[in-house]
C-alpha cells in the first residue's frame, strides 16, 4: 500500500485508523525527529466529529504536562487536516496488558501514579477527558529504558468545573460511568469511574463488565451489577480500597478527586518531581546535621524519610548518568542509616534479635519462600511486641512501630498468597509493594 506524502515529513508506516482519521509514524526531513501525524479527511467529518477535532486541538495547545501527549503542530490543505503529535514508541497500555495477560500490582501502581498526576493537572485546569481507557494511554520508552504513560485522544474532553453537569453522551461504553448510560447526566467524577475500570483491567486482564454483546453490557451497566474481584487473586488492602472507591456506582458515594489524589496506595507526595527532589535534599541535609551533632535517632529517622523520596526519583529518571548519580547518593544514605540502626539496636539484645529475624524474613520473601517468610516474621513479631510495650516514647519507638506495622502487613499479604496457592494449582500472585523505612 502506498503511503501518503506530506511536505517536510517522510511517512514511515501506518500506526492505526479511526472513523475519520488515520495516524502515521513520520520523520521530519530536516530535524530527523520522529512524530505521530494524524491525517483527518475533511470530507469524512460529521458535525460532531468536527466539534471533537476542534476541541482536541484547542485543549492540546493549552496543555503542557509530562504525562500528556504533546501537540507539536497542525496545518491543513484543501482536503486534509494534519495534526503533528509527540510519537510514543512503545504502543498503548491496552497492547501492553494483552501481551502480559495481567500486570503485577507494583506495575499497576507505577502507571496509575503517572495517570493520576496527569488527571490532577487536568483538574487544575477544569478539564475532563471523558474517554479514559487503556487504548488512549500511550507508552513511550526513553533511552534509559524507563517507560512513561501519556494521556492521548482529547476528542471528548471539555472544560467542566467540579459540580457542573453534562448531558451529552460521551466515552467508550466499556469504560463509561454508569450515570452516563442510566441518567444521561454526569459530572467530572465520571473520569474517576473510568480510572477504576483501567486499574481493574491492569490487575486482572479484563474490564469488570466485559461482555459478549452490547446488549449484555448495557444490561449489566443499567442494573448496576455489583463488581466483584476475581477469586484466588491477591491484592493489597490499599489497592482494593482505592479500586472499590473508584468503582462506586453512585457518583455521590464515589471517591472524590481530592481523596483519590491523597490515597495511600498512590502516595503522590513521594512521586518524582522537582518538589520531591527538593524535599529529599532538604531531609538528607537535616539528617547530616543531626548526624554531626551525634543525635543519631533523629538522623536515622531523617535518612529513612529521605530515601522514601530518593528511591522513586531513581526509578523514574530516564537519563542514565543522572540515575547512576542518584543511586550512588541513595546507597550512601542507606548505608549510613544501616550503621546507625545497628548501633541503636546493639544496646538492646532482644531488639537486635528481633530485627535480625525480621531481616531474614524479608530475604525469604524476596526469594518467594513464603511459608518460611511467614514463620520468620511471626517469630520477629513475637519478640518485638513485648519489647515495644516497655519501650519509652521517642523517635526509636516511632521507628520500631513503623517496622512492626510493615512486617504485620507483609505477614498478612503472605497469608493471602498461601491461601491462593491452596485454592489454585498455578496462582497469579501479585506482590505487594514493600516500603520499609528500616530496610
Q: Is the pLDDT of residue 347 over 90?
A: no
Count of residues for the chain? Answer: 439
The predicted pLDDT at position 417 comes to 67
Question: Mean per-residue pLDDT for 139-160?
Answer: 90
The count of other CB atoms within 10 Å of the CB of residue 211 is 15
Question: Mean per-residue pLDDT for 188-207?
Answer: 98
Average pLDDT value over all residues in the chain: 87
Q: Please give the helix or strand (H or E) that residue 53 lies within, else none.
A: helix 47-62
The predicted pLDDT at position 426 comes to 36
274-346: what fold? Methane Monooxygenase Hydroxylase; Chain G, domain 1 (1.20.58)
Question: Mean per-residue pLDDT for 188-198?
Answer: 98
pLDDT band at 91 (very low <50, low <70, confident <90, very high): very high
Question: Mean per-residue pLDDT for 399-409?
Answer: 81
Asked if domains 274-346 and 349-423 share a fold, the reply is yes
Q: Which three cell numbers stand for residue 387?
A: 519489647
Q: Which three cell numbers stand for residue 37?
A: 501525524
- Three-state SS at 39: strand
The predicted pLDDT at position 421 comes to 55
Q: Is the pLDDT of residue 423 over 60?
A: no
Q: Report pTM.
A: 0.74
Question: Mean per-residue pLDDT for 106-110?
Answer: 92
Rounded CA-CA distance 279/34 in Å is: 35
Q: Please give the helix or strand (H or E) that residue 320 lies within, else none.
A: helix 320-346
pLDDT tens digits along 259-276: 999 999 999 988 888 788
* 118-122, 162-166, 332-336: segment of lowest average pLDDT: 332-336
The predicted pLDDT at position 419 comes to 63
The predicted pLDDT at position 437 comes to 31
Residue-range domain boundaries for the chain: 6-86, 91-269, 274-346, 349-423
CA distances for 205 relative to 106, 197, 231, 233, angstroms:
15, 11, 13, 12
The predicted pLDDT at position 119 comes to 98
The second-level CATH assignment, the architecture, of 349-423 is Up-down Bundle (1.20)
The rounded percent of the chain whose pLDDT value lies above 70 is 92
How do strand 233-234 and strand 428-429 relate by DSSP bridges? parallel
What are 159's strand-pairing partners? 127
Q: Which residue has the higher pLDDT, 294 or 348?
A: 294
Query: Ramachandran region of residue 171, left (φ > 0), alpha (ψ -120 to 50) or beta?
Result: left
Q: Which CATH number is 91-269 given? A: 1.10.510.10
Q: Is the pLDDT of residue 428 over 60?
A: no
Query: Ramachandran region of residue 136, left (φ > 0), alpha (ψ -120 to 50) or beta?
Result: alpha
Q: Which CATH number is 6-86 given? A: 3.30.200.20
pLDDT tens digits along 16-43: 987 788 999 999 999 999 999 999 999 8
Q: Is the pLDDT of residue 393 over 70?
A: yes
Which sequence positions are flagged as catalytic?
A: 131
Question: Mean per-residue pLDDT for 89-112?
Answer: 94
Q: Is the pLDDT of residue 429 over 60?
A: no
Rounded CA-CA distance 391/399 in Å is: 11
pLDDT tens digits along 352-392: 777 778 878 777 776 667 788 888 888 888 888 887 887 78
The predicted pLDDT at position 431 comes to 36
Q: Which residue has the higher pLDDT, 96 or 420?
A: 96
- Three-state SS at 349: helix
Amino acid at each position: 500500500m502506498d503511503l501518503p506524502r506530506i511536505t517536510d515529513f517522510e511517512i514511515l508506516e501506518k500506526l492505526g485508523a479511526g472513523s475519520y482519521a488515520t495516524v502515521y509514524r513520520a520523520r521530519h526531513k530536516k530535524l530527523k525527529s520522529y512524530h505521530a501525524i494524524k491525517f483527518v479527511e475533511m470530507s469524512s467529518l460529521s458535525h460532531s466529529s468536527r466539534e471533537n477535532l476542534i476541541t482536541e486541538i484547542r485543549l492540546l495547545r493549552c496543555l503542557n504536562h509530562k504525562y500528556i501527549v504533546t501537540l507539536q503542530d497542525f496545518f491543513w490543505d484543501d482536503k486534509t487536516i494534519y495534526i503533528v503529535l509527540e510519537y510514543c514508541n512503545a504502543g498503548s497500555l491496552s497492547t501492553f496488558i494483552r501481551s502480559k495477560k495481567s500486570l503485577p500490582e507494583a506495575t499497576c501502581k507505577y502507571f496509575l501514579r503517572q495517570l493520576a498526576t496527569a488527571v490532577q493537572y487536568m483538574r487544575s485546569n477544569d478539564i475532563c477527558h471523558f474517554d479514559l481507557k487503556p487504548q488512549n494511554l500511550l507508552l513511550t520508552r526513553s533511552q534509559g529504558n524507563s517507560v512513561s504513560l501519556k494521556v492521548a485522544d482529547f476528542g471528548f474532553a471539555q472544560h467542566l468545573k467540579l459540580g457542573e453537569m453534562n448531558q451529552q453522551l460521551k466515552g467508550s461504553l466499556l469504560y463509561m460511568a454508569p450515570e452516563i448510560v442510566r441518567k444521561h447526566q454526569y459530572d467530572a467524577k465520571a473520569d474517576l469511574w473510568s480510572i477504576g475500570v483501567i486499574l481493574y483491567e491492569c490487575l486482572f486482564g479484563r474490564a469488570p463488565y466485559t461482555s459478549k454483546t452490547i446488549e449484555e453490557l448495557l444490561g449489566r451497566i443499567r442494573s448496576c451489577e455489583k463488581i466483584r474481584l476475581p477469586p484466588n487473586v491477591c491484592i493489597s488492602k490499599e489497592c482494593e480500597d482505592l479500586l472499590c472507591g473508584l468503582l462506586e456506582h453512585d457518583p455521590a458515594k464515589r471517591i472524590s478527586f481530592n481523596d483519590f489524589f491523597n490515597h495511600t496506595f498512590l502516595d503522590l507526595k513521594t512521586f518524582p518531581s522537582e518538589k520531591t527532589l527538593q524535599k529529599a535534599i532538604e531531609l538528607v541535609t537535616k539528617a547530616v546535621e543531626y548526624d554531626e551533632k551525634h543525635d543519631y535517632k533523629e538522623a536515622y529517622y531523617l535518612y529513612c524519610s529521605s530515601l522514601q523520596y530518593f528511591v522513586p526519583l531513581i526509578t523514574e529518571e530516564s537519563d542514565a548518568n543522572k540515575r547512576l548519580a542518584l543511586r550512588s547518593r541513595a546507597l550512601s544514605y542507606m548505608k549510613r542509616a544501616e550503621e546507625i540502626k545497628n548501633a541503636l539496636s546493639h544496646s538492646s539484645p532482644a531488639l537486635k534479635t528481633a530485627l535480625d529475624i525480621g531481616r531474614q524474613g524479608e530475604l525469604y520473601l524476596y526469594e518467594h519462600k513464603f511459608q518460611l517468610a511467614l514463620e520468620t516474621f511471626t517469630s520477629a513479631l513475637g519478640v518485638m511486641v513485648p519489647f515495644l510495650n516497655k519501650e519509652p516514647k521517642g523517635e526509636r519507638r516511632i521507628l520500631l512501630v513503623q517496622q512492626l506495622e510493615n512486617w504485620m502487613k507483609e505477614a498478612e499479604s503472605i497469608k493471602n498468597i498461601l491461601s491462593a496457592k491452596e485454592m489454585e494449582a498455578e496462582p497469579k500472585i501479585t506482590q505487594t509493594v514493600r516500603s520499609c523505612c528500616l530496610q
